[in-house]
Structures are given as structure tokens and as C-alpha cells.
A and B are shown apart, each in its own frame.
Chain A
Amino acid sequence: MAKFGDQASMSKIGKPPQPATGEEVPASDVQLYADRVRVYPRSVHGIARNIKWAILVLCLVVYYVTPWIRWDRGEGRPNQAILLDMAHERFYIFGLTYWPDDIYLLTGALILAAVGLFLVTSLAGRVWCGYACPQTVWTDLFMWVERLIEGDRNARMKRDAAPASLDKAWRKLAKHAAWVAIAFWTGGAWIMYYVDAPTVTVQFWTGQASREVCFFTALFTVFTYVLAGWAREQVCTYMCPWPRFQASMLDEQSFIVTYQKWRGEPRGKGRRDAEGRVAGEKLGDCIDCNACVNVCPTGIDIRDGVQLSCINCGLCVDACNEIMTKAGRPKWLILWDTLARQDAKAQGRHEAIHLLRPRTLIYVTALLLATSVMGGALAMRSHVNLSVLHDRAPLFVKVRDGSIRNAYTLKVSNKTDMPASFSLVLGGLPGGAMALSDEAENRQPALKLDVPRDAIGTFRVLVYGTPTRLADGSQKVGFMLRNTATGESTEVSSVFMGPAK
């Protein structure tokens, strides 16, 4: 094998390989690095295309409009319905406010999304890739713009092959300008999920936006432009990990875009007679028109079977249906079907659809389990949170009257929109008394703690006691915290320490 950087192998870059005499060697076999095969997808009409348009419009509308939805949370609180406020450590999603300690809910949401994706993939193949993935949605949008300005497949190929001209120049310029504009809009919308949309829009156009806002807007503008305009199917084939492991979710019972080989082969051009013969030779329904290849956004041939680059979008289904109608043959030569059913059909048998399989049942079970756990966690999410941290040094202090004093740092979080007043009671230490460290001598059996709305109150609480038994130097105590207005309460246990007796 030639060393990397060797003249011979380097020289292969960009130069067509010399075909070996006699036998034809595929180009991919002799090159160390492959030229990109430019894909010029043709426009197509049909059911898959309609579904794809509908999902595209829905996704884009949701993406661009969401930051502008308002939600009244009262005076002094953000009024954006969905706001991921990193600076103030709060996520606002309509009526819910998430604190950093609710991050497990985000983990749970990601688990739900992942298992949901597994289930959908095992049922219907890579529909995520074909319809809902942002890479697909924005690439489709960019292709639509490209088609508006540069025309359909044939026009684009012809113009790209032609020498430079004014017509070519302005169309290319217009296309890239439009792409950059969409990319900028996309990058700008992204930042609006993190800062107040109307405010940041005004700040941006008056030059007052922060460096972070400008950076992330630029970052997402550049990446949208590069990924949707230039990289396109290269992202799916070479960058994305999902196509690599989606094979482990698919099986022969998954509904995927499939070419009915038994019906289409042997392929051949020409109009079939009543018995399906062309010039006396019996041929399949595939007239080898390459329509399925020409519309494919990743430039593959579905007739080669299920493959890594197929994003399961079904545009080839639409293309083939158009052709079959024109050729006077039955539609659905390419369709959504399972590999098992196709095998059966090839042998003239009928095979039932198996939606309920161990794989899908496991995914459904996992999904239901995760949903109920998540739902439970969300429903029982406490609005009163107390954390108690015993002082590490000193563990205890002896005071003048001979009693022992322990100090604790209490953090009381008030996740509601109202200022809250809490009462704190100590349990497990008969005769014990508490005081706030600001007024150490004001010993009381119960303390009143006030916490502003949407905030954490930090209190250093001193506990005085004369425990009779401290065999191992400590005994258990409990802090009971009660919201005096709502009655919501919580209890946290800790220890009271002293010299071992």
C-alpha cells in the first residue's frame, strides 16, 4: 500500500482513474479520495412530497414563530412563552418554570425522545431522517429556493456545465444571497430562544446586542448556510451517526421505502404489450427511466435495496408512480413495505404485517414506563425545597451556659410566583432551640423564614441543645419546613453533634 502523501496516491486526487484494460473497475475502487458526485434532485409531485411539504411548513413555522409567543408571568418576570434563560438559570416553558435542580426532567425528556425515535424507526424506518430532521427540512427549503431561482434539474445541470455568463452569475448570486438571508433568519431565531425576542431584535438592529448574541447568530447563520446549502446529503452520509446505528432498530418487519424487485425486474426500456413483452422479450415493470434516482435528495438508486444513504423520504415512490401511470402500468412499483412481505410476494405468498414484535413491544413498554415516571415526577414536582447542610467546621461549639450549639446552612427554594413565608420546626431534640446566626441570642422553638418569589433563601440556623445521650457523638434531628400560606411542607433530616459521652 502506498504511504500517505506518496506522489502516486496524491496524484489521484481530482484526476479520473485510468480504467484497467479489459475489465471495468468501479471508480470508487481505485481512488483514495472520492470526488463529490453533485446531486441535482428533480422536483416531483405526489403523496410523499405533500407530506414532506406539510411537515416542512409545520416545523419551520413552529421554529420561527415560537419565540414570539407571549405568556404573562406577572410583573418583573419574562413574558416569553418559551425562554431558556441561561443567565438567570431558569427555563420557562409556558406555565412551567424549571430550575437547575429540575434538570432530570430534561434528561427524562431526552430519554422519551430517544425511545420514541427507536419505536418509530423500528415501525416505519428512518421517517425522522426523511421528514423531520432539521438537516432534511432546511435542505429541502434551500432546494426549493434553488429551484425557484435556477430552475429544475435539467436547467441547473445545463447551466452548471455551461461557461460563465451573466445569466449564470446573477442566478448564482441571487441564490446564495437568498440562502444567506434564510440562514441569518434561522440563526437569529435560534438566539431568541435564549433571550427575549423583541428586546434582542431591537438591540441587534441598533447595534446594542451583546457579543454572545452576535457570536451565536453568526455561528448558526454560517452552519445553516453551509449544511443546508453546500453539505446537504454529505451530512447524512458522512457526518451523522444516526444512519450508522439505525440498522440496529430496523428489521425485516419494518415499513421502509422498497423497490419491488420481483415485479420490476428484469428492467428494460420500451412499452410493454398486454403480456408485458417488449419485442418478444418478457420484461418487468421497471422501464429503467432513472426517475427514482433523479428525484432522490441523496442521489442513490433505491433499486439497489436498503442502504446507508437512504433517508426514507419516499420521493422515489412519487416519481415512480408518475412514470407508471404514464406507462400504463400499475402504480406502487416502489412503495412502503416490509422486507419480509416483499420476500413472500416474490414467492407468490401473502405475508401479514407484524406491528407487534418483541422489538416494538419492548420500545412501547420502555416508552410507557418513561412517560409515566416523567409524568409522575412532573406532577409531584415540589414547590418547596429544603436542603440542610451541617457546618463542617466546627461540628459543634460549646457555649457559656453549658449547652452545645450546632450550625446549619439551610437553603429554602421558593419555586412559586409569590413571596412565601415558611415556618421551620426542629424535631428529635427535646428542649432544643433555634436562632438565626444574625441574632444568635434570640433562641426560639420555631423560626419564621421569608423567601421572595422565584428565589432561594439562604439561612444560617444555630441550634442549641443539651442532648442527654450522644453515644457516638451525634444524634438524628429533623427540620420541618411548612409554607404557612399553602400548607405545603417538607422534612429533611440531619444530625446534631457534640462530644461523645
Chain B
Amino acid sequence: MSDQNAASEKDSVTGRTTTGHEWDGLKELNTPLPKWWFWTFVATCVWGAGYAIAYPSVPWLTTYFPGVLGYSQREAVTADVRALEAQRAGVMQKLKAVPLEEVRKDEALYAVAMTAGRIAFAENCRACHGAGGEGRPGYPALAGDAWIWGGKLADIQHSITYGIRSAHPEARVSQMPRFGADGLLKAEEIDQVTDYVMGFYKPDAPALPGAAKGATIYAENCAACHGDKGEGKREVGGPALRSGVHLYGDTRAAVRAQIANPRLGVMPAWNTRLDEATIRAVTLYVHGLGGGE
């Protein structure tokens, strides 16, 4: 401290010199640091320099100094993921082998299946069916208890594996005629059958004017797939009409539109994208959302 003698002064109380620094009349005594403190500081600097040499550190414009040890976080993650896959291989194999109905009895296996199913569902299914399987108009709610093609484990597995109207030979296919667009029924008849179907939708409301005539039209044109009393026929994929849950809405306009020019949803066959164990996991997950049969 070369200017020490010039700037510093002697403190009258302690008899020690000050550093010459002053803050609002407070002056700092010139107290030396302990030497071990200094060497500890030097040691941390040496450690820091060594660390920067050993590990990836300096960023260049397009690349970076990789460090002499050749450590890479990306490689570490890749290795971790590979290790995890190897670790999971056994249980995923087991998930493929055990009958779906038996999985729930094996608590550990079921927990794995639900986790794997939840993740696969979030990645592949939620875009249409919603984060919790709540569905939306045109996309069935999976958390509810209304199933067009059946809510048993095997039914769900088949639907996921081959899809709905997916062009896969095993796919679920049902075809509703376009009663209005193809001129199969007159506009008046469509109105009447709509009135009749609304009676399934809202049994407590008074019967609509065309309901009586609509009943005959229904029996001739609709009952084959939707059932005599609107209870639906799963074997042909005819949705239940006497139900609280409707895929395309429950207003009269929505019902009429669906009769005149029906919309028919498509779900891809997932066996081209997901492996069998994952499909089984998603099946269990969907079944467990609250409506599984």
C-alpha cells in the first residue's frame, strides 16, 4: 500500500493506522487478512482454472472449448436415458406378456403401466381427447362412461391399436347414411325423426310435434344400428341415443345436422406409431380414467 503513509492516519483510540477510507466519518482500520485466507483464495482460483481446463468452459462463437476430460452433458443424458430404457425393458416386456385383466393385480406393474400410459396419452391422445380425457364435440370423452365401441379393456385396446375408420383392415368402421345430403329422407321426414330422437335425449321434456311420425321413420331407418329404444349397438358401432352423453352436441339443430349430413370422426391406427407395451399401458390408463367397464 504505497499511498498508505500519505492518505492514512493514526486512529487515536486503537493507535493503529487507518486505510484512509472514510464513510460519513467512519474510518476503516488497516487490518491485514490472515495469510491462510489468502492462500485459500489462491487455492480456489487454482481449482477454478483447473475446472475450466478439465470441463467444457469457454464459449467460442459457433462452438466451445470441450475440456480435456471430454465430458459432455448431452452424452451423459443419452447414456442415462439408455440405461433407463434397459432398466425398463424387463417390466415393459412383462406388461406385454401379462393379460390386461391381470395387470391390476400386480401393484408394481400396474403403477408402471399407469405412468407409462399417462405419459403416452399426454403425448399422443390429448390433442383430440383432452388432457384428462374429457373430450370435446366430435371427439369422445374417455373419462366418461359412454362408449361407442365398448369400454372393456379388450375393446379399448382394439380401438387404439387399429383406430376408427383408419383404413386399417381391422379398424372399427361404422357408416351412417347421409339421409339429407343423399336424399334418402325428405327434409320434413328428417324434422320428424329429429323430433323423435330428441325424446331420447330429453325424456322429461314434452314430446315434440313430429315425434309420432318420426317413430315410424326411426324404426325403418335407424333402429338397426341405434337400437329399437335408442340404446345403441356396440357391435356395429351405433352410438346410444338414449343417453346423457352425445358426441356432436344435444341441441335439436345438432341432432338434425347429424342426421342430414353426418360427420364421421377418424382415429388413426396407433400400432404404426406406438409399440404394443405402450398401447397396453394407454389402454389401462384410459380404462382407469373413470369410465372403464
Interface residues of A (CB under 8 A from B): 1-2, 8-9, 13-14, 25-26, 28-36, 234, 238, 391-395, 397-403, 405, 407, 437-438, 440-441, 460, 462
Contacts and interface: CB of A to CB of B under 8 A. Distances in A.
B291 interface: yes
B32 A34 contact: yes
B108 interface: no
Contacts of A26: 15-16
Q: Is the interface of B mostly helix, strand, loop or mixed?
A: loop
30 contacts: A1-B1, A1-B3, A8-B2, A13-B35, A28-B16, A29-B16, A30-B4, A31-B32, A32-B1, A33-B32, A34-B33, A34-B35, A36-B34, A36-B35, A391-B132, A392-B131, A393-B134, A395-B134, A397-B134, A397-B141, A398-B245, A399-B146, A402-B244, A403-B244, A405-B144, A437-B288, A438-B288, A440-B290, A440-B291, A462-B290
B117 to A, nearest CB: 14
A19 B244 CA distance: 100
Nearest to A9: B1
B38 interface: yes
A35 B35 CA distance: 6
A14 B17 contact: no
Contacts, number: 101
A412 B33 CA distance: 57
B269 interface: no
Contacts of A402: 244
Interface in B179-200: none
B227 to A, nearest CB: 14
Interface string B125-140: 0000011111000000
Contacts of A1: 1-4
A400 B145 contact: yes
Interface residues of B, number: 36
A247 to B, nearest CB: 15
A393 B132 contact: yes
Nearest to A439: B292
Given A33-B34, A391-B132, A462-B290, 14 more contacts: A1-B1, A1-B2, A2-B1, A29-B30, A33-B32, A33-B37, A34-B32, A34-B34, A393-B130, A399-B146, A405-B144, A438-B104, A440-B291, A440-B292
B131 A393 contact: yes
Contact of A394 (B30, B32, B130, B288): B130
Given A34-B35, A394-B132, A400 B1 contact: no
Nearest to A23: B10
A394 B243 CA distance: 20
Contacts of B37: 33, 238
A272 B203 CA distance: 118
A470 B133 CA distance: 23
A49 to B, nearest CB: 28
A400 B38 contact: no
Contacts of B30: 28-29
Nearest to B15: A26
A interface: dominant SS? loop
A331 to B, nearest CB: 31
Interface of B: 1-4, 15-17, 30-38, 104, 130-134, 141, 143-146, 240, 243-245, 288-292
A33 B130 CA distance: 68
A35 B132 CA distance: 69
A1 B145 CA distance: 82
A399 B245 contact: yes
Contacts of B4: 1, 30
- Which of A29, A30, A399, A402 neighbours the largest number of chain B CB atoms within 10 Å of its CB? A29
A8 B143 CA distance: 79
A13 B38 contact: yes
B240 to A, nearest CB: 7
A44 B165 CA distance: 96
Contacts of B132: 391-394
A26 B32 CA distance: 11
A13 B243 CA distance: 91
A104 to B, nearest CB: 31
Contacts of B288: 437-438
A4 B176 CA distance: 88
Nearest to B8: A29
Contact of A407 (B31, B33, B130, B290): B290
Contacts of B32: 28, 31-34
B39 to A, nearest CB: 9
